[in-house]
Amino acid sequence: HVQLVESGGGLVQPGGSLRLSCAASGPTRRACMAWFRQAPGKEREGVASLNVGDSSTFYADSVKGRFAISQDDAKNTVYLEMNNLKPEDTAMYYCSAGQQYYCTAWYRYNHWGQGTQVTVS
C-alpha cells in the first residue's frame, strides 16, 4: 500500500496563499498524483493532477492560473501551491494516488490521504 499524508492547510484571508504538501511512501506504484477537494454538502472534485513520470499537469477550470501542482526530484512529495485564494476554495483537500494511464481520469484514483482543511475567509 501507499501512505499519503497531507499537511499545510489552515485559515487564510481571500487573496492569500497556501502551500499544501503530500508525503508519499510505500511500495505501490504511483503513475499519477492528484489533489481533490470537498466542501460541505458538495461532491468531491478533482483540482489538479500530475503524471509522476513526466511531471505533466492538469488543472480544473476553477483553479487554473491560481494553483500549481508539482513534485520533488525524488518524486515522493507532491505539492499544491494555492494563490489568490477565494472563499469558494474552502474545502477539505485530499492528496490521492493512482496507477491509471490518464491522470485526468479522476474516478480511477484509489489511494487517499486523510485530508487537510483549507478555509478562506
**Is the pLDDT confidence value at 36 over 90?**
yes
Torsion, Cα 12 87 3 68, to 10 degrees, reads -90
- Give Rg (Cα) of the chain: 13
Predicted pLDDT of residue 26? 82
Average pLDDT of span 80-97: 98
**Is the pLDDT confidence value at 48 over 80?**
yes
In tens, the pLDDT along 61-81 reads: 999 999 999 999 888 999 999
Average pLDDT of span 44-69: 97
Nine-digit cell at 31?
Answer: 503513475
User: How many Cα atoms are found within 13 Å in the side-chain-facing hemisphere of 42?
Assistant: 14
Contact 70, 49 (CB under 8 A): no
pLDDT band (50, 70, 90) for residue 99: very high
Residue 85: which residues within 8 A CB-CB, separation 6 or more? 12, 13, 14, 15, 16, 17, 18, 66, 118, 120
Predicted pLDDT of residue 39? 97
